[in-house]
Amino acid sequence: MTFNPKADIGGGKTSRRGRNAGIAVGGGLGVLAIVLLGSFLGVDLSGLIGGGGGAPAAEDSSLEECRTGQDANERIDCRMKGAAASLDAYWAEASPSIGLDYVQPQGFVLFDQAVSTGCGNASSATGPFYCPPDQTIYIDTSFYDQLEQRFGAEGGPLAEMYVVAHEWGHHIQNIAGVLDSTRDGETGPTSNAVRVELQADCFAGAWAGAAATTEDPNGNTFLQPITPDEYRQAIDAAAAVGDDRIQEATQGQVTPHTFSHGTSEQRVRWFAAGYDEGVGSCNTFQVSGDQL
Ligand SMILES: [Zn+2]
């Protein structure tokens, strides 16, 4: 059990778009968007650009069945919706401490195989991503199978929610102006790209650290206290998507000058920093390269 069974997860903007679902593509597909589209894993970006969306698909109504923490404990889509509700509540509370006026993401979309977004068309191969132009987070939950099978992570509910929390962190960076102010197209171990990603991991940790005390509108906590096992699984997921680990697996060698997300060790360390010390510790742009 991860969610408090009584927690109210009914609100929020979580929606679902099926295969071939389309929305009007607005805004340009900028360099930033391309970088961030692969922002979680930095893998295959093929299948992204081009093509408009098809006709808008009817929204699946089954997410409306996700009302309580109990539902979130039983169903992956409800768990995603519950994570979004928890993240919204957390950031509404935590944002003032970093001088930020919190604004919810415009959308949180669960998709199946392919989706048309404000950043162009995306497929499941893209991995979870945040699209700045439409301020929306996109996740195909089949990614969690990949995370286990392809990247060797152990999985588990908190590991899944870490992924959502990381992308939510990019939204925070977007409304804080961090994405705009640090965009330079560089990669490498101390690049802004890596600092952006490690900060998003730290933000995810900060949410996780406060998740068991973050409350729904009725005063029920969203999550139960995180168990050592769950924490370990979240850490394990962060490690699984480190640049070094992925490069070792996909190209047989590690090339630090192409790092865009940070090493396994860094991703784990910054998640842990946020978890232990809160959002104020997520100063990845202030520390020197050897402290990153
Ligand atoms: Zn990212």
67 C-alpha to ligand 1 centroid (Å): 28
Q: Are 188 and 255 in contact (CB under 8 A)?
A: no
**What pLDDT, on a 0 to 100 scale, did the predictor assign at position 141?**
92
Q: Kindly tell me the sign of the dihedral angle through the C-alpha atoms of 277, 226, 160, 90.
A: negative
Residue 56 has a pLDDT of 43
For 4, residues 6+ apart whose C-beta sits below 8 A from its C-beta are 69, 220, 221, 222, 223, 224
At residue 245's C-alpha, the angle toward residues 251 and 185, to 5°, is 75
Distance 218 CA to ligand 1 centre (A): 32
| pLDDT for 22 beyond 70 | no
pLDDT at 26 over 80: no
Spacing, Cα 197 to ligand 1 middle (Å):
5
Could you tell me which residues are beta bridge partners of residue 116? 121
pLDDT tens, position by position, 209-220: 999 999 999 999
136, 98 Cβ separation under 8 angstroms: no
User: What pLDDT is stored for residue 125 in this prediction?
Assistant: 87
pLDDT value of residue 61: 55
Written as one letter, the residue type at 3 is: F
In this prediction, residue 36 carries a pLDDT of 43
User: 219 CA distance to ligand 1 centroid (A)?
Assistant: 31
Q: How far is the CA of 170 from the centre of ligand 1 (A)?
A: 7
Check pLDDT > 50 for residue 53: no
Residues near 141 by Cβ (< 8 Å), separated by ≥ 6?
Answer: 76, 77, 80, 110, 160
Span 93-116, pLDDT tens digits: 999 999 999 999 999 999 999 999
Is residue 118 within 8 A of residue 133, CB to CB? The reply is yes
Q: What is the DSSP letter of 189?
A: T
